[in-house]
A and B are shown apart, each in its own frame.
Chain A
Amino acid sequence: MNKIIEVKNLTKTYDYFKKEPGLKNSFKNLFKRKKLFKKAVDDISFDINEGEIVGFLGPNGAGKTTTLKMLSGILTPNKGEIKVLDYNPEKREAEYQRQFALVMGQKNQLWWDLPPMESFLLNKEIYGVSKQEFTENLDELVKALKIEDIIDKQVRKLSLGERMKSELVASLLHSPKVLFLDEPTIGLDVIAQKNIRDFLKKYNQKRKTTILLTSHYMEDIVALCDRLIIINEGKIIYNGSINDLMKKYAPNKMITVFFEKEISANELKKLDKVYKIEDCKVLFKVSREEVKNFATKILSSDLPVKDIEISEVDVDSIIRNVFTG
C-alpha cells in the first residue's frame, strides 16, 4: 500500500482584526486595530494510502476545509510538510493539478446560464483530456449518476442534487487520481445524498481513486469511509477505522418506539434499557450488537407497536464522547 498523501506537522494560522459594534468603535478602528490570531490547523500529521476513502469529520471552523485547501495548493502552510502524489501542492505545478480534482459543496464551478455539458467541454480543454477519454468518462459518469436528461438543461434550472451530480461529473472527466470533496452532500435531500454516496463508493472501487472528504454529516462518513479523521479546533483527536470509533465512542444506538397507547411502567421495566418516556413514545438506548435482537424482541412481542425508528447517535454526541472519552 503506497502512501499517496503524507502530511507532517501541518500548521496554518489566520490573522484577523477585532471588530466591535458601535459608531464610536468604527471611528477608533480607523486608527488602531487589534490583530488577533487563530490557529486553524495546529500541528497535524496523517497519511493516506492509495485507493482509500478517508473522511474528515469535525464541527464548523475545526480546520477541515483549511486542510483540504492546503492539500490542493490553494493555501500555503505556515509550518509543516505536505506531499501528495510526490508533489508539493504549494508549488501548484500543472502536472500535479492535472491529477487531482477539488469539489466544494457550497461553491458552484459550473457556468450558471449554460447546460452542464458546456462546462464539461470546457474542462476537457483545460485539463487536456483526449476526445476518447472524455467520451468514455462522460458516458460512464453520466450513466452512473443518472443525469442523461439534465446535461443539456441550464444549470440554474437544475435542482441542488442535479447540480451537485453535474459538478462531480465535471471534476472526474480528467480521471484524477485524488479527489478532494468539501461538504459534497450539504443541503441535498436524502435521496440525492444516497445517490452520491453510492456513486462515490462504486467509483472508488472501480478506479481506486483516493478520496478525501470533509463533512459534518455522520451518514456520509459511515456510508463511504474506510477511515475517519476527527478534527477539532485544528487538532486531530481521532485517526482510525470507523468500526473502532463506533465501538469505542458510540457503542449505543437509539431505538425510538411509537406505541398505539401508553405502556405501563411495569411492562417497560420488563424491557429494560429504557432511556426516556414521552407519552406513547419510548426511547431505548441499546448497544450496537444488541440492536437487531432488541428490535426483533419488541416487534415480535404483543406490545401495540405503531412504529419503530433506529437512529445513529448524532455526530455531536459522538464527538463529545471522543473528547470526554
Chain B
Amino acid sequence: MELKKTFLKYFKIFLHLQKIGLMSRTAYRANFFIIIFAVLIQASFSLIFIKVVFGFLNNISGWNYYEALVIVATYLIVEGLMWVLFGQFNTIVKQIQQGELDGLIVRPIDTQFLVSVWRGDSEDIVRIITGLGVIVYALNNLNLTLTQITVNSFFYIFMLFNALVITYSLAVLFKTISIWTIEARAFFHLTDSFSRMSQYPTDIFYHKIVQTIATVIIPLFFMATVPAKILTRGFDLKIVLSSFIIAGVFFYISRKFFQFALTKYESASS
C-alpha cells in the first residue's frame, strides 16, 4: 500500500516535469523546430549508412538488410527515450557545474530520481517515431507470420525496457563522475558515443574477448542487438534471462555509485 502510494506520487511528479519540460521547450518555437529538424537529420544518417553499406552486400555477420534496420531502429528508440525521459542524465552535470544540485538534494524526493527526470528533451520524440516507423517497414519485409510478430513484439518490449535500463545505468555511472571534476563539457556526450556503437550487430566482434566486453562490460549486445534478435528471430530463453540479469546488475551498481557520489559531494562556496 505504501509502495503503491509512493509509486503514484513519483509518477505524478514525473508527468508534471514532462509537462513543464514540454512547455518550457516549446516556449522557443524556432529553436524547437530547428532541433526537431536536426534530430531527424541525425537519425537519417544511421539509416543512410545502413542503406549504402547494404547496397554493396546483403549480409553482415548473419544479419540481412531488414534485420539490420531493426537494430538501428531499436537504437533510435532507446536513444530517443534517453533524451525524452531523462535528458541523457545531463542534468547532474549541469547542476553540478552551476552549483544548483543543492536545491535538488534538499527535496523530500529521491535525488537520483529527481535528477533523472528533471529535464527531458521533448524534441527527440521524433527519434522514437522514426524508429517505430522503420520497425514497421522492416517487419513488413521480413518473412514472419502475424502470430510470430505478435509474440516476438511482446518480448521485444521487455528487451527494449532492459536496453533502456542498461543505457540509463551507463549514463549514471559515467556522468556521476562529474561530481569529482570541474569539467562539464566532456560529459554531455560521453555515453551517447557508446550507445551510437550499439547500432551495429555485435556479431561483428569475431574475437571472443571483444565479444565478452561488448556483452558484459559495455553491454552493446543488450542495448540494441538483443531486442532486434528477439523481434526478428524469436524467443531465446538464455538471451532473455541474461538481458534481465545484466540490466539488474548495471542498475544496481549505478545506483550504489550515485549514492556514494552524493556523500562525496562538496558544493564549493562560501
Contact = CB atoms under 8 A, between A and B. Distances in A.
Given A121-B16, A126-B13, A14 B270 contact: no
Interface string A113-138: 11000100110011110000000000
Interface stretch (A60-68, A247-255, A282-290, A310-318): A60-68
A126 B107 contact: yes
Contacts of B114: 126
A66 B270 contact: yes
B146 interface: no
Contacts of A118: 20, 23
A73 B20 contact: no
B99 A107 contact: yes
A104 B17 CA distance: 22
B270 A60 contact: yes
A73 B108 CA distance: 12
Nearest to B105: A74
A72 interface: yes
Contact of B16 (A14, A63, A94, A125): A125
B3 to A, nearest CB: 15
A294 B100 CA distance: 50
B95 to A, nearest CB: 10
B102 A64 contact: no
Q: Which of B20, B106, B263 has the most CB of A within 10 A?
A: B106
Contact of A92 (B16, B23, B105): B105
B264 to A, nearest CB: 9
A109 interface: yes
B23 A114 contact: yes
A121 B12 CA distance: 12
B35 to A, nearest CB: 15
Chain A at the B interface: SS class: loop
B106 A102 contact: yes
A12 to B, nearest CB: 9
Given A66-B270, A69-B267, A126-B13, A97 B108 contact: yes
Contacts, number: 80
Contact of B269 (A65, A76, A126): A65
A102 B17 contact: no
A100 B100 CA distance: 18
Contact of A94 (B24, B108, B265): B108
A274 to B, nearest CB: 39
Contact of B102 (A69, A121, A126): A69
A5 B109 CA distance: 23
Q: For this complex, into which size category does the number of interface residues on chain B fall?
A: 20 to 34
A98 interface: yes
B102 A102 contact: yes
Contacts of A128: 9, 108
A73 B265 CA distance: 11
Nearest to B24: A113
Contacts of B266: 14, 75
Nearest to A14: B266
Interface string B96-114: 0001101101111100001
A21 to B, nearest CB: 17
Interface in A264-291: none
A109 B269 contact: no
Nearest to B26: A113
Contacts of A94: 108-109
Contact of A107 (B23, B24, B100, B105): B100
A217 interface: no
A111 interface: yes
Contact of B270 (A61, A75, A112): A61
A95 interface: yes
B209 interface: no
A181 B211 CA distance: 55
A102 B13 contact: no
A234 to B, nearest CB: 11
Taking each of A100, A112, A125, A128, which has the highest tally of chain B beta carbons within 10 Å of its own beta carbon?
A125
Contacts of B99: 107
Given A69-B267, A107-B99, A154-B27, A98 B106 contact: no
Contacts of A100: 106
A235 to B, nearest CB: 15
Contacts of A122: 13, 16-17, 20
B179 to A, nearest CB: 13
B268 interface: yes
Contacts of B100: 107-109
B263 A76 contact: yes
Interface of B: 9, 12-13, 16-17, 20, 23-24, 27-28, 99-100, 102-103, 105-109, 114, 263, 265-270
21 contacts: A60-B270, A62-B270, A63-B270, A65-B270, A66-B269, A66-B270, A69-B102, A75-B265, A76-B263, A94-B108, A97-B107, A102-B103, A104-B102, A113-B23, A118-B23, A122-B16, A125-B13, A126-B108, A126-B109, A126-B114, A128-B108
Given A72-B102, A114-B20, A118-B20, 13 more contacts: A14-B266, A66-B269, A66-B270, A69-B102, A74-B105, A76-B263, A95-B108, A98-B108, A104-B102, A108-B100, A112-B24, A118-B23, A122-B16
Q: 4 nearest interchain CB pairs?
A: A97-B108, A94-B108, A61-B270, A98-B108
